[in-house]
């Protein structure tokens, strides 16, 4: 994915994770950030493990993909992500939601 194709919301989240800032409500919804543990898990993934902005963008709106970004070494490894998009796509029979 080309850097120009990255969603603005993802760019802002990536910046928030690097700068230790809390993201906007819209960003929290799309990335399943419900608690400080969710934010910490993504922050660790980006800052320590080098998860790319492209990988973060690819996982936007997909709780399963977001959860997969959290490695076994991540101190927040028990957290799982859910987004409003997960149930919407599953309800509409989207094959990518499975």
- Write down the domain spans for the chain: 3-89
Query: Looking at the chain, how many residues does it have?
Result: 98
Q: Report the pLDDT averaged over residues 44-48.
A: 97
Is this structure's pTM higher than 0.95? no
pLDDT band at 88 (very low <50, low <70, confident <90, very high): confident
What pLDDT is recorded for position 97? 46
What pLDDT is recorded for position 20? 94
Q: Count the neighbouring beta carbons within 10 Å of the beta carbon of residue 1.
A: 11
pLDDT band at 82 (very low <50, low <70, confident <90, very high): very high
pLDDT band at 35 (very low <50, low <70, confident <90, very high): very high
> What is the number of H-type helices and E-type strands within the chain?
6, 0
């Amino acid at each position: 994915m080309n850097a120009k194709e990255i969603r603005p919301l993802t760019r802002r989240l990536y910046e928030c994770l690097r700068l230790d800032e809390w993201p906007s409500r819209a960003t929290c919804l799309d990335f399943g950030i419900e608690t400080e543990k969710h934010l910490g898990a993504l922050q660790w993934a980006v800052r320590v493990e080098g998860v790319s902005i492209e990988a973060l963008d690819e996982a936007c709106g997909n709780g399963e993909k977001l959860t997969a970004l959290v490695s076994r070494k991540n101190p927040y490894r028990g957290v799982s992500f859910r987004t409003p998009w997960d149930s919407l796509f599953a309800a509409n029979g989207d094959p990518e939601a499975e």
